[in-house]
Amino acid sequence: MSSGFSPCELNSHPSALPGDPSLILVTNVDLGDKKLEVMKACSKAIQKATGKPEAYIAVAITDNADVIFGGSDDPTALGNLYSIGAITMESNGEIHASVSDLLKPFGVDTSRMYINFFDMPRANVGWNGKTFAG
């Protein structure tokens, strides 16, 4: 069964493969008419930190959500970033700093935001009717 990827793609570093990463972010603040701008800036920050093609990066943000952090409903955010490779201490820190900077104008302090980073096995990421493992 063909994977649909060229031998060059299959043998390349996982960070060069298409279809990821994906950031899912939930916050209790209202991003208003700046939401799309924040999403696009998150996408660019992920591309810069991971080296992944932006054409394959997905970002979903849910604002105005019911979220507490440390027992308080002060401005906060929780995120999950999934990627095939490119999950490193350096890139993770760079992404957290960038997303934090983007949310600061909305009152979210850097100390009130978690982003969990998940390095996904190729068999556990589906795209285009199959997984990246084939």
Catalytic residues: 21
Spell out the alpha helix ranges (H) of the chain: 7-11, 35-50, 89-103
d(CA 30, CA 33): 9
Q: How many angstroms separate the CA atoms of 31 and 118, rounded? A: 26
CA-based torsion, 54, 63, 84, 49: positive or negative: positive
Q: How far is CA 55 from CA 16, 58, 59, 106, in A?
A: 12, 9, 11, 27
Closest CA to 59 of 21, 110, 100: 21
Radius of gyration, CA atoms only, the chain: 16
